[in-house]
A and B are shown apart, each in its own frame.
Chain A
Amino acid sequence: MRRRPFSRLVLALTATAILLPALVLVVWSLAGRWPWPELLPERWSLRTARELFFGSASLPRLLLSSTLLAGGTALLSTAAALLTARAAALYPIPGKGLVRFCGLLPLLIPGTVFAMGIHLTLLRLGLTDTAAGVLLVHVVAAAPYAMAIMEDVTAAVGGGLEEQAAVLGAPPLRAFCSASLPQLLPGILSSMSMAFTISYSQYFSTLIVGGGRVRTLALVLVPYIQGGDRSLASVYAVAFTAWALAVFFLFECLIRRREKGGDGTWN
């Protein structure tokens, strides 16, 4: 498809608007002293790189725990959202609207209030300061987004093809996997990446429920932003973004290979 000059211009402007500030972050993370009105830093420093790679925060551990938590959240919240969406779209259940509304509640209540309330509940259940507790909170936080996406997709796909497969004699699981799943897949993937991002950038809920024992990259990054050390905040922000992009890139590569190599039925 050939792009028209106008849309190219819009694309270029958007790309600049996103990339330029990101580039400034990279410069800040290597800046020692950068007084106004200099265009470039007066002094450069590798202090932040040393801290990032050799500091006591242990970057690999942070990346691993962030990724595992976010990956777990993506899987669980999307699975829950898919089941809920199918129940809502395909079966006549009374009080459907209420369930849907309750699912959106974490979105409507301010994050801090939500985290404090859930902290008390988890405290009674003995789930505070554990990775399982944090995972649960992240799933609840990501669920509204996952549900919004999955509801639309499930309603659009409908149950027709699956019924057809069932009529032809396929057992329920096979009917779902062969008829509906391939069509739902784009929705599932976008729901998963949304949930991944939500969990990856959670700060307050992780801090309160995890009690500082469950350490993620966001947990280390935010105090430096609040603390005003711009160079350290920048270097962590760059690492934070780069890692998320790397994970998405890897994920997409895997999907592409699977799509090409597999038989396209996903069962």
Chain B
Amino acid sequence: MIKRLTGLLLALLLLAGLTACGEKGQGTSLDLENASWEEILDAARGTTVTFYGWGGDENRNNWLNSAVADYVKEEYGVTLEVVGMNIEDILAKLSGEKEAGAAAGSIDMIWINGENFYSAKENGLLYGPFTHRLPNMEACVDLEDPETLNDFCMPIEGYEAPYAKAQLVLYRDSAVTPEAPASAQELLDFCRQYPGRVTYPAPPDFTGSAFVRNIIYELCGWEPFQDMEADYDTVAAAIQPALDYLRALNPYLWNRGATFPDSSNAVDAMFADGELALSVSYAPFTVATGIDQGLYTDTTETFVFDGGTIGNTNYMAIAFDAPNKAGAMVVINAILSVPMQLSQYETLRELPVVDGAKLTEEEAAAFDAVDLGRGVLTQEELLSRRLPEMPARLVPVIEEIWLDQVVGQYNS
């Protein structure tokens, strides 16, 4: 009796699962490789697209769910469903689906870049090339821009389209610490002056890792790394001056550099609490948002090193088993459009990926007219001090070296 009941229950559950899967097969009948853009638009009309990406930023969630979702619904009849998930979990899910050979994927679009793009592309988790099909790539984006061609030096080859630009910035409360260190050397002096009140997120945190790479650029330049082999000893020898510098920094850092906060959010919170005198962010206009939300004081100000800071682009890709590839292309194309990039710039204060030279005068004026808020640098100031990212394969090596040779260690 019990067995029969359980069996019945399982069968019912299975049935429910199967019917749910049966509804998903949208837009698969179209021969995507040879379809014209009009045919893709037709196939996408009336379908649903899922967009998976990090969900910890309520402003971005709201922007996607309102501005973008409304735009693609009105223009193309596509329903956008935004799902918050960390990129590691997304890739784990995709490789699980690949391993199980499941026909029905559930992820259409992915928010991705850097090391994750590198491993996803290497492991065949992405669909492509597809960006050459999108009219707005040609119409709005600079196709020769190194960041359109390469993501952390990994050739993109049409497997992802740009979404927004990020750049490392530093910030401090000018009422508490009037000095803004403009170089690694000045940063060391700053730390000496405010002992225990500076730290950075421990790599492999995204921001902390970029900060360490930026210090490497300050002391070793960026050119040697563009084609360096991802070998522990080679890299360690090349970044020796930076390692010495980081160890020299340790005695003056928070908790004497014996430990580091585990995430950039923790560092931001410590800065907001007044525990730290300086913080680092990969979101160049974060100070304006922080002041608006009442988290930071009105006198908080952004600055960058004179030698420049690392910038990168984040991208949108399509999953290899995406059930609705046509719809995903339509949404990605829409996000690349001038109105959506302008809306992203206005609402989220993210650097747009559109090419200024391809804008009409009116459009350019609209971008210039955006009020970025208080305490930030202008787009020109940022872009003129922008340095390229390192090859993605070097990133984990540097993180390993940092863990071995920097944390809790001092120069003798």
Contacts and interface: CB of A to CB of B under 8 A. Distances in A.
Nearest to B269: A228
A120 B102 CA distance: 10
B199 to A, nearest CB: 15
Contact of B106 (A43, A76, A83, A128): A128
A237 to B, nearest CB: 15
A36 interface: yes
Interface in B264-315: 265-266, 268-269, 272-275, 293-297
Nearest to B264: A228
A121 B102 CA distance: 11
How large, as a class, is the contact surface on chain B?
35 or more
Interface in B357-408: none
Contact of A32 (B61, B102, B293): B293
B346 interface: no
A80 interface: yes
Contacts of A111: none
A212 B84 contact: yes
B2 A87 contact: yes
How large, as a class, is the contact surface on chain A?
35 or more
A227 B275 contact: no
Interface of A: 32-36, 43, 45, 47, 51, 55-57, 76, 80, 83-84, 87, 116, 119-120, 123-133, 135-136, 207-208, 211-213, 219-220, 223-224, 226-230, 232
Interface of B: 2, 5-6, 9, 13-14, 16-18, 20-21, 50, 52, 54-58, 61-62, 64-66, 81-86, 89, 92-93, 96-97, 99-100, 102, 104, 106-107, 263, 265-266, 268-269, 272-275, 293-297
25 contacts: A35-B273, A35-B274, A43-B294, A45-B293, A56-B61, A56-B62, A56-B66, A57-B61, A119-B93, A123-B102, A126-B21, A126-B102, A128-B106, A133-B17, A135-B13, A208-B92, A212-B84, A212-B85, A213-B81, A223-B86, A224-B58, A227-B57, A227-B265, A229-B56, A232-B58
Given A56-B62, A132-B17, 18 more contacts: A32-B295, A33-B294, A33-B295, A47-B293, A51-B62, A84-B2, A120-B96, A123-B97, A124-B100, A127-B13, A130-B16, A133-B13, A208-B89, A212-B83, A227-B56, A227-B265, A228-B263, A228-B265
